[in-house]
Amino acid sequence: MEKASKRKMLQSILVHIPRAPQHSRPWISSALLLPILAGIGVAVLPRLLPSLAIAPAHAREFVSPEAVRAINLARSSIVKSNGGLSAYRPAQCMFSQPTTTNLCLIRNDDQGFLFHFVGGPPAWEQRNQMPSKETELLISPEGRTVVEVIYNSTPRPPARAISLARTQAVTLNGGPRAYAPASCMSAPAATKANPCVVSSNAKGYRFRFMGGPPRWEADGDRPSQETEIQISPDGNSVVGVIYNGAPR
């Protein structure tokens, strides 16, 4: 029997089954109906009904052993070159999985793993302090060799600007125990691709971002604050807080 004929027959059966009154016996028993549906509908039902397959809500991204080795090597080598853990700690993203959403992992291709991050004295992030170091380094594709330390020194203007905007917002909104800005403000530098960056030009850096209680993003909560702030071109001073209040 052709697929179209099977489809029409199944639809006819489904449409013309009368609705039995409540508490009454249906005119056709399930014992008779099920074999018909089994014989006719096996090829048709998948086309008539939407797919019931549901992907996992929080499917984990596969992280290769090479990527894990690369981020571990990048972190340990820079910690060592900056005085050890007693003097220096890289940003928290360098202690996280090297997934595509990790803000420290800028690129992963046939040239290797490019990491970009800031760091400072122990607990600098928890205390809402400015970073004292900015680092860029390239790790080999197999994750076993430091190919090049591109930069490892005092933060440059884009890194200072986003760090100053972030720390200023945290201070304005009650400190790190009460407030956390959107994750895009934890990026290592202000770039035009960053959704928190409104503009970056000779007038300086303008940021606009949401915020809320700690873990508001991870918990899927709505933001409670919106902040817009202008930072000087050298990244050293706040030109003005344009807005800091309830989301507009």
**Dihedral in degrees, nearest 10, Cα atoms 138, 102, 133, 237:** 130
> What pLDDT is recorded for position 36?
44
> What pLDDT is recorded for position 75?
98
Crossing angle for the helix pair 3-16 and 30-41, to the nearest 10 degrees: 160
> What pLDDT is recorded for position 61?
84
Residue 179 tokens, joined:
């407030």
> What pLDDT is recorded for position 59?
62
Residue 192 tokens, joined:
């035009």
Give me the tens of pLDDT residue by residue for the chain, a chain 248 residues long. Answer: 455 554 555 455 444 444 444 444 444 444 444 444 445 444 444 444 344 344 454 567 899 999 999 999 999 999 999 999 999 999 999 999 999 899 999 999 999 999 999 999 999 999 999 999 999 999 999 999 999 999 999 999 999 999 999 999 999 999 999 999 999 999 999 999 999 999 999 999 999 999 999 999 999 999 999 999 999 999 999 999 999 999 99
Tell me how far apart the alpha carbons of residues 209 and 225 are, in angstroms, rounded to a whole number: 8
> What pLDDT is recorded for position 60?
78
Tell me how far apart the alpha carbons of residues 52 and 29 are, in angstroms, rounded to a whole number: 27
Residue 216 tokens, joined:
């508001």
Residue labelled with tokens 């029409």 = 8
- What is the Cα 94 distance to its own chain's centre? 15
Tell me how far apart the alpha carbons of residues 38 and 35 are, in angstroms, rounded to a whole number: 5
**Is the torsion defined by CA of 189, 194, 198, 199 positive or negative?**
positive
3-state DSSP assignment of residue 43? coil
Tell me how far apart the alpha carbons of residues 174 and 60 are, in angstroms, rounded to a whole number: 34
